[in-house]
Amino acid sequence: MSSQENVRDIASALHSSYELVPCYATLQSIDELRNALAEHITALLSTQPEKLMNILYRFDVSEDKIHEVFTTVFPFDIPLKVADLIIERQQQKLVTRQLYSSGKSW
């Protein structure tokens, strides 16, 4: 599976779950996805931080990593770092799905 397909798969999952990425079909790279996601995270942090925390929980993003970002990162960089955590977790899920759908075993 190509990198661009991975971007579309991740963006599609983020869109279908919580519409975190509004126009996912036009995204061509991880950086574009990251920036689009960070914009939405910024809005959620400003208006609905509890909804963002719920989304992070439902995406199964590590609480320890979230705590680390919120306590050690400059406030301006928090949306990008949270976007990185979400993308990283979605990539892990893709790898797991591909591993088990192809019939490979550990």
pLDDT per residue as tens digits for the range 75-96: 999 999 999 999 999 999 888 8
Contacts of 32 (CB under 8 A, 6+ apart): 7
Which residue ranges make up each domain of the chain? 3-101
Give pLDDT, residue 106: 54
Q: What is the pLDDT of residue 44?
A: 94
Question: For residue 54, what pLDDT is reported?
Answer: 93
pTM of the model: 0.83
Which pLDDT belongs to residue 92? 92
Q: Please say whether the beta carbons of 52 and 41 come within 8 A.
A: yes
Parts of the chain with a pLDDT under 70: 1-4, 17-25, 102-106
pLDDT at 65: 96
Residue ranges in the chain assigned as alpha helix (H): 3-18, 30-47, 49-58, 63-72, 78-101
Q: How far apart are CA 46 and CA 7, in angstroms?
A: 26
Q: Which residues contact 67 (CB under 8 A, 6 or more apart)?
A: none
User: Rounded distance, CA 67 to CA 61, Å?
Assistant: 11
